[in-house]
Amino acid sequence: MKQRYNRLTVIKNLIKKNRIDNQDTLLNLLKEEGYTVTQATLSRDLKMLKVGKISDGWSGYYYSLPDNDLVAESEKSYIQDVRRGVVSMEFSGNIGVIKTREGHANSVAVGLEALALPEILGTLAGDDTIIVILREGMTKEDLQESFKARIPAVDD
């Protein structure tokens, strides 16, 4: 888990310091920094960081990080929804059940999707229950680590 957060920091720094227009270029720069990852992992990392492509106005598009103030405000709202709603989590393999307060399942699921936790492949919400499907190779412990880092005060 620590490796992922270190890699995310390196990706942010590379995007800030370089004009990167495709994933191959970014993969090569990461390799120079000592990180060998697959294209699929890099795509998840870019999604988690909310990286987008913007036009330079004349020759193409390049990666850009979002405005931190806007992201921080938006994430605060989603984090509050998750904190307010989660009651418990239980897993069997890569499928989990998150129990929420009555009527909170949808807002918690929307929050989890918006926060783009890399462990979560998808969610399905009812009234007070969310089914969570973890990505291949991810575990409940990986998700708990992400919760501790991104959504403090939510325990299993």
Eight-state DSSP code of residue 20: -
Quote the pLDDT of residue 95: 95
Q: Return the higher-pLDDT residue of 27 and 48.
A: 27
- Which listed CATH number (3.30.1360.40, 1.10.10.10, 2.40.40.20, 2.40.30.20) goes with 68-150? 3.30.1360.40
Say if CB 52 and CB 66 are below 8 A apart: yes
Q: How far apart are CA 107 and CA 135, in angstroms?
A: 21
- In the numeric block, the tokens 């005060």 are attached to 153
| pLDDT tier at 133, thresholds 50, 70, 90 | very high
